[in-house]
Amino acid sequence: MANSQPAPNTSLRSARRSFRRILHPDMTPMVGLGFLLVTFFLLAADFKKPTVMQLTMPVSSREEGTCCGCRSAGALTLLLGKGGQVHYYKGMYFEEMPKLHTIYGGSSGLRRFILEERASNPSVVILIKPTADAKYRDLVDVLDEMNITDQKKYAVMDLYKLDYALLKRYNL
């Protein structure tokens, strides 16, 4: 750890006393510890990089009730409600109110539903509309399911007046 060497004897006074030792500490363990700390902090910073999901938002249209170029027959609207509930209706409605259904089973139920819908209609466009009662986590979960099921055509949209009327009709 540290080397000690006797000091050269230059006077008689120092001869009577014990030898004074000059300490030269060995810094090798400190250098090794420094490299370990630098390595730890570099690795910790590398592991902490955030994961970001690419999301392309559609161009907003001026007219209410119109969508980003999707046909009404190929649309599936998901309404995110309170308590993590996901309600849906098929198509887009403008005159008559469609029947509102609820997806049960959490994320696995939603995944199964999306895969079944895509099997029956490969060109389905999913419109995701979070309500005011929905949490941000619910929207993130639905977007994760879009990535897991490899759904290419989906859009996050605002609720229209007709959607509010539909939710009010079903007391949601």
Nearest to 22 by CA among 38, 8, 35, 5: 5
For residue 70, being part of any structural domain is answered with no
CATH code (residue 111): 3.30.420
With bands split at pLDDT 50, 70 and 90, how would you rate the model's confidence at 55?
low
Indicate if 116 and 162 belong to the same structural domain. Answer: yes
For residue 134, report the phi and psi dihedrals to the nearest 5 degrees.
-75, 150
Identify which has the larger pLDDT, 55 or 170: 170
Mean pLDDT of 89-100: 76
Q: Which of 37-41, 62-66, 131-135, 153-157 comes out lowest in average pLDDT?
A: 62-66
Taking the CA atoms of 165, 156, 146 and 122 in sequence, report the sign of the dihedral they define: positive
Mean pLDDT of 49-72: 60
Domain that holds residue 81: 75-169
For residue 69, being part of any structural domain is answered with no
Inform me whether the pLDDT recorded for 38 exceeds 90: yes
Indicate if 95 and 143 belong to the same structural domain. Answer: yes
Q: What is the pTM of this model?
A: 0.62
Domain count, the chain: 2
For residue 106, being part of any structural domain is answered with yes
Indicate if 83 and 36 belong to the same structural domain. Answer: no
Indicate if 90 and 154 belong to the same structural domain. Answer: yes
For residue 66, being part of any structural domain is answered with no
Q: Where are the alpha helices (DSSP H) in 27-160?
A: 28-47, 106-120, 136-148
| Beta carbons of 139 and 128 less than 8 angstroms apart | yes
